[in-house]
Amino acid sequence: MTKLLQQSAGLQVREGGRGEPLAFLYKGRERKLGQVLMTWRISQEWWKRPVERDYFRVSTEDGAVCELYRDLLSGTWHLQRIYD
């Protein structure tokens, strides 16, 4: 089971030198990331709803796994999914 966040609010993310996430602020606490498990990009055709996103499936230092994405059009980070 995963918790899919339908309308994820903007997320404060500390980035590394290559733009990869190192830590993010969630519910008032900084979660440091352990490992980037997977990355991929989603681009959707402009005639639907223009979307350009870089996805990161990451594990945090306390063992949780979640998916973050950076919206390339706005430059903001979002939390999309949290795995149980």
Partner 1 sequence: MRVACLSFPHFAVQVEERDNRDLPGKPVIIGGFHYEAKAVYDVSEEAAACGVSPGVPLRQAYTLCPHGLYLPFDDEKYDKAFTHLLGLLAGYSPKIESGAPAYALLDLAYEPDEARFIQEIAERIWKAAHFHMSAGVASSRFAARVASQAAGSSRSLIIPQGEERRFLEGLPVDLLPASPELIRRLELLGIREIGKLMDLPCEAVELQFGAEGRRVWEMANCIDSTGLRTWTEPQLLEEELRFEPAVDSLDLLLAGADKLLDRLSRKLEKRWQYCRRLTVSLRFSNDHIVQRAFYFKEATASRVPMLSRLKHCFEQAGFTAPVSEMRLTLTDFCSEEGKQSSFLGKPSKHKERLWSAIHVLQQKHGRTAVKRAVPRRNARLPEEAFSFTLIDPQER
**Which x/- pattern, by CB under 8 A, does the window 1-40 give for partner 1?**
---xxxxx--------------------------------
Position 44 contacts partner 1 (CB under 8 A): yes
To partner 1, the closest distance from the beta carbon of 81 in angstroms equals: 6
To partner 1, the closest distance from the beta carbon of 64 in angstroms equals: 17
Whole-angstrom distance, CA of residue 16 vs CA of residue 28: 21
Q: What is the DSSP string of 16-83?
A: -TTS-EEEEEETTEEEEEEEEEEEEEEEE-TTT--EEEEEEEEEETTS-EEEEEEETTT--EEEEEEE
Q: Which residues bind partner 1 (CB under 8 A)?
A: 4-8, 42, 44, 51, 67, 80-81
